[in-house]
Chain A
Amino acid sequence: MYRHIDDIGIFGGEPLFATPRPIGQLAKPPFEAFLELARPALEHRPIGGAGLVETLEGRLAEFHGVAHCVAVANAGLALIFLMHFFADGRRGEVIMPAFSYRGLPHFAQWAGQAPRFCDVQAGTHGLDPVRVSQLFSDRTTSILAVCNFNSPGAIDELCEVAAACQLPIFFDSVYAFSATYKGRMLGSAGAAEVYSLHATKVLNGFEGGYVTTADGRLAQAIRTLRDANGLGGINARLHDLHAAMALASLDEVDSVIHDNHARFQAYAEMCRGLPGLEMLPCGEAGERSAFALAILEVGDAWPYTRDETIALLVAEGAAIGAYYSPPLHRSPHAPPGPVPALPVSEALSRKYLQLPGGALVSLDDIERIAERLAFFYANADAIGARMRAGAVT
């Protein structure tokens, strides 16, 4: 279909999408199912809760195949509690990946720890075990590894390094919900794992988070920390309504993952016709993945930079951004101090952008994105020249 370049969003034309296409999952269970579960919480408001949190914890422990699940107000607080617990009163450092979520260095500081950024593996994007062993010192109180949406990373090797250094290691698995590692559902890696129930994640509880662990003592410590009962905790309970929502959503997980996978395949198909664009694949062969994110790699054969591509798509109504860019050690989220050289994280942070995904993005939307990207490709000289001449505000 012929279109003039004046018509594209970035030059003032009507955007492809009248309502923005987001990146978060935003799945919703049937409203009646949620209401039914939430009824005891809404009507009676018993002190100590309606038992919904305990029910959720039981089902999640079963889902992940672990002995203990402790639900809290959100995943950030869970991470703070774990770092605080492992530090045991000391002010030290937590080793964490530089190519990751901006909240991590903040959470460490709430727990009285300084973030120590570490380089990652080019393939999995997870902590590089060799780099971890080089960074560990007597100031290190724990290792925070991240299981990414595309790969859980080198879990066994990282745990070996942690054991050799005699350090606790725990995993932020927020984007790896429902993924498997060596054939086994994630949930029991390291000392503990943390998951999120935020609406933008595969399991939607409005807000919320939980810790999975085989360690009963650790589980009890987190339970104590989430209660403002005078034993050194704060209020960090999961809201009954959020537990009800998460329970209703648990029944929808397979369907959500199925749709994520279909969207991923549509995007992969799109990339086959577009030189220099490739979807970041999810999961090793034979492993399960939830395809929680749709991440596009922008290569040299594509006639725009990664950031130009983002600008083009944002102007079309895609509510997207760069993926983990800038890397944390070079971001405003790093506390002041010397900036290490972390070449793999730095290279990765230049490559990727997040594509629209989740329940509000249809296969038809993806076809239209594909069409528009093909137009951008076919008219790259004219569009690129105009963009770079500063004709774009």
Chain B
Amino acid sequence: MRGIFRRRYFSNNGPLVQQLDGAMAQILRVPHAVCVTNESVGLMIAAKALAQTGEAIVPALASPGLVQSLRFAGLTPVVCDVEPDSGTICARSAERAVSSETRILAAVHFLGRRCETSSLDALARRKNLEVLFDARQSLRRPEAWETPASLGSATVFSLVEPTVLDAGEGGCVATADRQVADQLRTMRNFHSNQTFTPVPLRINGKMSEAQAALALLGLDAFARNVEANRRGYEAYIAGLHGLKGVRLRALPEPSNFQVAALQVEEGAAGLTAAEMRAALMAENIPATRVFHVGRLQERTGQAGTLPMPTPVADRIFRETLQLPNPGSLSPQEIAKICRRVADILAQAKQVRKLLRSRA
């Protein structure tokens, strides 16, 4: 940080941002990594580079902000359903949503689970579409990217993963395509000397030297953080083992283990996920619902973007609760949380009665 002040190079593609671009490319083992001020701007410029207008297919379980980022990029989001196990985009459902206006498949690596990329890649080739991956909560170690298809046309990462890598704010767009990379490096600013190729539109998307400094410092802790996450995740597995009606969402390797999500099956548990959440919140244990694009339509009154029902996404939305990240707590604290979950389940009838009487 002192170096930044000494050099007076505060932003505008300074030495630290350039270093971070290189470091991210190395750590992700991708040919090109372009760092920007945050992941929303990353999504906007990636989407715009891939398609200037048209439709973008989005899974119903998508990160907040993805839909609006696509809209700002001039694309119309069209929602499709997801796979039952992973909650990631279902290629068959996506195919039904393809129209003559479709340009992009915007897939989400949902809650730390990667999409099955080969069927998406095949669909994209058949219909001549670009694949854009939203990889928030999925900043990956190198061995995860074994084929170019697993990056799609571009993958957008967030550098705000409190238990993995934290630049405070920041995004990184990774691509194997040199032309796309040149477009992104041009689009993230307005400087004449940072103009590498013609682009449809530019924006102020620069990451500052301060952000890059934080991210570079954070990279040192990357491997350590993943290990701490793993220990926490194993504590969740142990603590929730054998409990009726709840299941910890599996995170197949390779993973950063930074997400702990509980599936609550009402029949066996005697409680809905919403009731479980209320009970946990009453014990000061934060638990959050996942995001369902359909909710966005209801709240903002934008009709006409749900051409098909999404029963799988609806079920996952109803049943899933995100618990505190594994790396953010000690194994003892996690064990305590699991005991609370067990207690709540054991007294499901009373808990339900109490919640209903309060409502």
A204 to B11 alpha-carbon distance, docked (Å): 11
- Given A233-B68, A236-B40, A76:B10 Cβ within 8 A: no
List of B residues within 8 angstroms of A82 by Cβ = none
A41 to B211 alpha-carbon distance, docked (Å): 12
Which B70-114 residues sit within 8 Å CB-CB of chain A?
A: 71-74
CB distance from B22 to the nearest CB of A (A): 21
A241 touches B (CB below 8 Å): yes
List of A residues within 8 angstroms of B319 by Cβ = none
B1 touches A (CB below 8 Å): yes
Which B191-205 residues sit within 8 Å CB-CB of chain A?
A: 192, 201-204
Q: Which residue in chain B gives the minimum CB-CB distance to A238?
A: B169
Q: Are B204 and A75 in contact (CB under 8 A)?
A: yes
A372 to B204 alpha-carbon distance, docked (Å): 36
A34 to B209 alpha-carbon distance, docked (Å): 15
Q: Are B169 and A233 in contact (CB under 8 A)?
A: no
A241 to B217 alpha-carbon distance, docked (Å): 15
List of A residues within 8 angstroms of B38 by Cβ = 73, 235-237
A360 to B6 alpha-carbon distance, docked (Å): 12
List of B residues within 8 angstroms of A234 by Cβ = 40-41, 43-44, 65, 68-69, 72
Q: Are A228 and B64 in contact (CB under 8 A)?
A: yes
Q: Are A240 and B72 in contact (CB under 8 A)?
A: no
Q: What is the number of residues of chain A that contact chain B, defined by CB distance less than 8 Å? A: 48
Mark A211-231 against chain B: 1 for CB-CB distance below 8 A, else 0: 000000000000000001111
A242 to B1 alpha-carbon distance, docked (Å): 13
Q: What is the number of residues of chain B that contact chain A, defined by CB distance less than 8 Å? A: 45
- Given A228-B64, A231-B299, A231-B300, A241:B214 Cβ within 8 A: yes
A35 touches B (CB below 8 Å): yes
Segment with Cβ contacts to B, from A101-109, A126-134, A183-191, A265-273: A101-109
List of A residues within 8 angstroms of B320 by Cβ = none
List of A residues within 8 angstroms of B1 by Cβ = 31, 35
Number of residue pairs A-B, CB distance < 8 angstroms: 127
List of B residues within 8 angstroms of A35 by Cβ = 1
A63 touches B (CB below 8 Å): no
Q: Are A230 and B299 in contact (CB under 8 A)?
A: yes
A237 to B38 alpha-carbon distance, docked (Å): 9
Q: Which residue in chain A gives the minimum CB-CB distance to B198?
A: A332
List of A residues within 8 angstroms of B192 by Cβ = 321
- Given A207-B11, A230-B299, A235-B65, A73:B190 Cβ within 8 A: no
- Given A198-B11, A229-B64, A110:B201 Cβ within 8 A: yes
Q: Are A45 and B162 in contact (CB under 8 A)?
A: yes
Q: Are A241 and B168 in contact (CB under 8 A)?
A: yes
- Given A73-B169, A110-B72, A239:B203 Cβ within 8 A: no
A206 touches B (CB below 8 Å): yes
Q: Are B44 and A207 in contact (CB under 8 A)?
A: no
Q: Are B169 and A102 in contact (CB under 8 A)?
A: no
Which B166-209 residues sit within 8 Å CB-CB of chain A?
A: 166, 168-169, 190, 192, 201-204, 206-209
B153 touches A (CB below 8 Å): no
A207 to B17 alpha-carbon distance, docked (Å): 13
CB distance from A115 to the nearest CB of B (A): 11
A47 to B286 alpha-carbon distance, docked (Å): 12
Residue with the greatest number of chain A CB neighbours at <10 A, chosen from B69, B169, B201? B169
A241 to B166 alpha-carbon distance, docked (Å): 13
Q: Are B295 and A110 in contact (CB under 8 A)?
A: no
CB distance from B286 to the nearest CB of A (A): 9
A199 touches B (CB below 8 Å): yes
Q: Are A31 and B5 in contact (CB under 8 A)?
A: yes
A10 to B38 alpha-carbon distance, docked (Å): 41
B39 touches A (CB below 8 Å): yes
List of B residues within 8 angstroms of A106 by Cβ = 190, 201-203
Which B4-30 residues sit within 8 Å CB-CB of chain A?
A: 5, 8, 10-12
A206 to B38 alpha-carbon distance, docked (Å): 15
CB distance from A2 to the nearest CB of B (A): 35
CB distance from B69 to the nearest CB of A (A): 5
- Given A45-B168, A207-B37, A112:B68 Cβ within 8 A: no
A80 touches B (CB below 8 Å): yes
A35 to B291 alpha-carbon distance, docked (Å): 37
A42 to B5 alpha-carbon distance, docked (Å): 17
Q: Are B201 and A109 in contact (CB under 8 A)?
A: yes
- Given A77-B204, A106-B201, A234-B68, A204:B211 Cβ within 8 A: no
CB distance from A45 to the nearest CB of B (A): 6
Which A6-42 residues sit within 8 Å CB-CB of chain B?
A: 26, 28, 31, 34-35, 41-42
B210 touches A (CB below 8 Å): yes
CB distance from A327 to the nearest CB of B (A): 16
Q: Which of A28, A230, A235, A245 contacts B39 (CB 8 A)?
A: A235
Residue with the greatest number of chain B CB neighbours at <10 A, chosen from A35, A233, A241? A241
CB distance from A249 to the nearest CB of B (A): 11
Q: Are A45 and B44 in contact (CB under 8 A)?
A: no
Q: Are A110 and B44 in contact (CB under 8 A)?
A: yes
CB distance from B321 to the nearest CB of A (A): 16
- Given A45-B162, A228-B63, A228-B65, A102:B190 Cβ within 8 A: yes
List of B residues within 8 angstroms of A204 by Cβ = 10
Q: Which of B11, B202, B295 contacts A206 (CB 8 A)?
A: B11
List of A residues within 8 angstroms of B39 by Cβ = 235
Query: Can you offer 8 A-B residue contacts whose CB atoms are under 8 A?
Result: A26-B8, A26-B10, A76-B204, A102-B190, A110-B73, A112-B71, A112-B74, A233-B65
Given A47-B162, A74-B37, A112-B71, 7 further pairs, Cβ under 8 A: A109-B74, A110-B44, A207-B206, A228-B68, A232-B299, A234-B41, A234-B68
A residues whose Cβ falls under 8 Å from a Cβ of B: 26, 28, 31, 34-35, 41-42, 45, 47, 73-77, 80, 84, 102-103, 106-107, 109-112, 198-200, 204, 206-207, 228-237, 239-242, 245, 321, 359-360
Q: Top 4 A-B pairs ranked by shortest CB distance? A: A228-B65, A199-B10, A76-B204, A234-B40
